Amino acid sequence: MAVDDVEYEPVSVKELLAEMKDTAELLIDLSYSAVLLGSDEVAEEVLELEAKMDVLQLRARMGLLMAARNPADAEALAPVLGVVGAAEKVSDAAGDIAKVVLEDIGLPDAMRATLPEAVETVVRAVVVPDSPFADRTLETINLETETGVRAIAIRREGEWLFNPGPETTLRPDDVVIFRGSEEGIAGVYEDATGQAYVPPEPPEPGIDDLERAVDSIVHMKNMSELAVDLAYGAVLFDSDAVAEEVLELEAEVDALQSRFEAWTLQAAGRVDDPVNLRGLVQLASATEVISDAALEISEGVLRGLGTHPVVAEAVRESDEVIVRLTVAPDSDLAGVTLGEKMVKTETGMRVIAVRRGRTESERTGREGGSWVISPGPETELHPGDVLIAKGTRSGADRLADLAGDEPEDG
């Protein structure tokens, strides 16, 4: 594969960092979706984005080196270089995941049986000229409200548009990455492409040890994705508390990988072709790299170096905040489910994790501090639970009112 020359250009490091952040988050979505769908097309998109990330990180490093004039500058910019390097690690890990599909490295059927439970469906769709979406804005289509499906990125004439907004117009031949429930995705895919969406067939259950290994890696994936979200929140708001959550998540992923290795070794002696486990091993290794990268993103905060303004501004470009709220005993959220209070509808905030508090551990007899990853409408909240939520500042204020807490965003 040809490699393009890269020369120094006086560009905004802030803009480069913002683009790297968006690219890294999309890469995580697309790489696991390529595995779930067994899709060479989605995997190829991952490798294209990985190549783009290589150029972005080189340009960012050049800009940062030009900005360092003395030891004080070097100390201030060191964590920024860490953020750049971590985003590149996420990109490389996503590429390794995509190669499991492209190179037919081998993956047990149990993996594709379990992944749909762990991720929203992501699909790549090319808008046809006679699509009802063609030449209409996302606002007029009312896509997310009507279907629950989001357009998370668009590739048009070789250029990517991340986080398209209500005013974004879909055009014929646009490659759109949609994300949502499988039920919603089916209708959206058909409207965009004129073809029926065919989900992968779930295979039959297999060997117990192998299923346990797969469960471990799926949990690793969830933890790693959450860690990346929280890491960017930690640097945006220079929050020690959120950075500590990233540290705990990374340690949990390490522990899960040890369990995964044990289950995989036990399963190897009971499968017909142990070579087919290579893809699973590569998937676990890449997933663990993503959690390590999340820790690197927040390392400057953990080490007391603070957050350089250029990083905070870059993360702020997304217009999203990550907040950490504790459910008060007499609040509107105590003792109810997320669905009962219609938290997402009423506040616009997406609760991405719940960490069970001391009150909950006393109530159930289980150890406090356990995570509920990607909680759903049925997740019940209790006093002392810590909510990690993502959305707008106004939505964060509304959610804080429901929780009876002040939003901690730095």
Helices (H) and strands (E) in the chain, counts: 15, 10
The CATH number of 13-115+205-313 is which of 1.10.3720.10, 3.10.129.10, 3.40.50.720, 1.20.58.220?
A: 1.20.58.220
CATH architecture assignment, domain 320-403? 2-Layer Sandwich (3.30)
Return the domain boundaries, the chain. Answer: 13-115+205-313, 119-193, 320-403
Beta bridge partners of 176: 125, 154
Angle between helices 309-316 and 208-237 (to 10 degrees): 110
pLDDT at 299: 86
Q: Which CATH superfamily, name and number, covers 119-193?
A: Regulator of K+ conductance, C-terminal domain (3.30.70.1450)
Beta bridge partners of 371: 355
Q: Do domains 119-193 and 320-403 have the same CATH topology?
A: yes
Rounded to whole angstroms, how far apart are CA atoms 212 and 264? Answer: 8
pLDDT at 21: 86
Task: Specify whether the CB–CB gap between 181 and 189 falls below 8 A.
Answer: no
Rounded to whole angstroms, how far apart are CA atoms 151 and 321? Answer: 20
90 three-class SS: helix
On the CB side of 111, CA atoms within 13 Å amount to 27
Buried residues in 7-44 as b, exposed as e (16+ CB within 10 A): eeeeeebbbbbbbbbbbbbbbbbbbbbbbbbebeebbb
Rounded to whole angstroms, how far apart are CA atoms 60 and 12? Answer: 8
Comparing CA positions, the residue from 230, 229, 28 lying closest to residue 118 is 28
379 three-class SS: coil
Instruction: Kindly give the confidence (pLDDT) of every residue in the chain, 410 residues in length, as a single tens digit, with 9 standing for 90 and above.
Output: 555 666 666 667 888 888 888 888 888 888 888 887 777 888 898 999 999 899 899 888 888 888 777 788 777 788 888 888 999 999 999 999 999 888 877 666 655 555 545 456 778 899 999 999 999 998 888 877 777 788 888 888 878 887 687 788 999 999 998 887 777 888 999 999 999 987 766 545 455 667 777 778 778 888 888 888 888 878 877 778 778 888 988 998 999 888 888 888 887 777 666 777 788 888 889 999 999 999 999 888 888 777 777 777 777 666 567 788 899 999 999 999 988 888 877 777 888 888 887 554 444 444 445 778 778 888 999 999 988 887 767 778 889 999 998 766 54
